Structures are given as C-alpha cells and as structure tokens.
Structure 1
Amino acid sequence: MPEDRKLALIITDDDPASDGVKTETVLGHLFQVIENGEAPMLRFSECVPMALFCGKMVIVCEDEVTFKWTICAINTMCQPHTATPFIKFYNLIRATTIVPVTPFCKPSCEIFRFLEVQNEGIVTDKWVLMQRCGLDPCACTNPMPPQNIFDNEVIELYMDQESKCIIESTCSKLKFIYWTIEFKFECS
C-alpha cells in the first residue's frame, strides 16, 4: 500500500563486489539481535513485511519504534549493510493534490491505479502516501476542488523525479476518473 512506504527501508549491501543483498544474511542478523533480547516490541507490515528487487531488500515497518530499531540493527552488521528510508533512497519530491473520493477509489492503491491507467507514463511504484484528509469546503484558503458531487480529499505524497517531470509536462494536471486534478510541488 502506498501509505506503508513512508516507514519502508531499502537495505543495500555496502560491499562494491556484492551482487546484491543476501536475504539469509540480513534476516539471520536480525533474528540474532532479537534472540539476544535487544529488541522492543517490533511491528512489521502484515501485507508485505519484506521484499527483494534489483539486488535490494525492502523492509516495511508498522511504527517508528520498529523503523528506528531496524536501522540500528542493520547498521551493526559485520558485513556492512545500509538501511535507508524509502523516501531518502529514491530522493522523492513532496507534492499535494485534491481528489474526489468516489465509491470505487476509497483505498489509496485504487487512487494510484486510476492515475496510472488514465495517464500515460505515470508509474506510482515509488510514490509514498503521507496523509489523506478531507477538504473543508467552507475554508476560504482552499484551492478549487475538482468537483462538488463527492467529498474531496487533500492528498500529501512523495513521488519520483520522473513522475514529477511527466506531470509538469501536462501543466501539473492529471486525469482522474472524470476529472482533472492539479498537483502542487514543494519548492526545494
């Protein structure tokens, strides 16, 4: 889920001769640290706690305690590895948009799926959902919502540079179901 990625870590093997992270080495080390009684109550994602891709390992934590503990545990490995937060590893860019909350896009993964299907070149695999909150229709500081039939939500997220470039090439607007939504990017 896109919201789970905010507490995801990318584990890399620091050995330049390595062909990628060895799952058994990393998990063996983490289990050893846990067995030595050096772990608080840990909570990893129930959906996908760990995955491998392109020689890297992703570990998804459920809370800040687990997130910080995992970083420290990885940093104590004899065979040097690095645990980098997902957002930092991919150098993601902060953005906001407003979307109508329709019956078929309640889960964030469905919102992202619609954006991929309706907008050529958009891939949301590296997008991280930070927050979703209802748009107050009475607040005078709100930008114009895309529509008035459904409730609207403000979505705060991080995305990769490639997605930002594609969105900027369309005047910072993407198709979303029957509407066009606009993205605002944080200035760096």
Structure 2
Amino acid sequence: MNKIVPISLLFFLSGTVSFFAQVKQETVLVAKDTSKLEEIDPLRPAKAAFYSAILPGLGQAYNKKYWKIPLVYGAIGTSMYFYLDNQKKYREARNEYKRRLEGYEPNEKFARLDDSRLIAAQKFYQRNRDLSSLFVVGFYALNIIDANVDASLIQFNVNERLSVRPEIYPTDVTFKPNVGLTFNYNF
C-alpha cells in the first residue's frame, strides 16, 4: 500500500500540472484589403435588359430589386386595361354607327346619341386607345431601361476614397469668390 500512494500521488500531480499549464495560442490578425475592387461583369446590364425584354420584371428580379416588380406590372397592366376598355367602347360605337347606316333602329344603349355624336365617340375612344397603346409600349421600354441602368449602377464603385466637395476659390484677376466642385481620389 505504501507503493500505491506515491504512484497515485505522482499521477495526480502530473494531471494537475498539465491542467494548470498555460497553452500559448497565436492569434493572427488579417487586415481586409480595401483597395481590391469587386469583379465587374460587363455583360450584367445586357443580361438584365434581355431578361426584362423576355418577361417584364425579370430583369428587376435578376438585379434583386424585387420591390420594382409590382410597379412594372401595375404600370403595364393598367395601361393594357385602358387599351382594352377603349378598344371595346370604340367597337361598340363603330358597330352602332354601321347599324344606323344600314337602316336598323338605334340600340337602346345609344338611342339618345345622334350620328355626329357616334362619330365623335369613335374618334374619342380611338384616340384614347392609341394613347393607351403608347403607354403600354412606353412602360415596357422603361422596364427594360430600368433593368439595364440598375444593373450598371450596382457595379458602380462607391467607397470612402472617392469624394466630391464644394470649394470656394478666388479668381486670378478680380479675386472675387467662385464656387466649384472638386473631385478627389485618395490612394
């Protein structure tokens, strides 16, 4: 038993010594290189425009600007609604005018309108239909342009090293103050 106590004491002390020993860990600090620019994809604006041309709003989804998609469909859908509504009313007025020229009795919907009013209604609805079609095409083109410009601006370099500051400096001849802007780039 005398031998067991010193051996167990030796194991106990060796365990506590390793338990209380300090382990030195090296920490390495890595500085982020701010001068390195992100990779620029020159085809990104073309892809976004192509996607928007295929399906309106798809270019906005490609640019991750999801909040613009309801605006695109709202503008194009509203214009399309007015186009279809004016087309329907134009056809009704035209068909009624044709019926009257053929000698039929006026339809009860258009009974209070004479022929000159039906011609004016046709011109009115035709003009509004054509204007609505221009809005449909315009909003479709605006959708494509927005996707292209947004994809271009996503890649635009904006960091702390770029600055534009107003500056007031005197003219060389009259020494009156001039106001201007300076563009600074710090390396």
TM-score normalised according to structure 1 size: 0.19
Rg (Cα) greater in structure: 2
Higher helix residue share: 2
TM-score normalised according to structure 2 size: 0.19
Higher strand residue share: 1
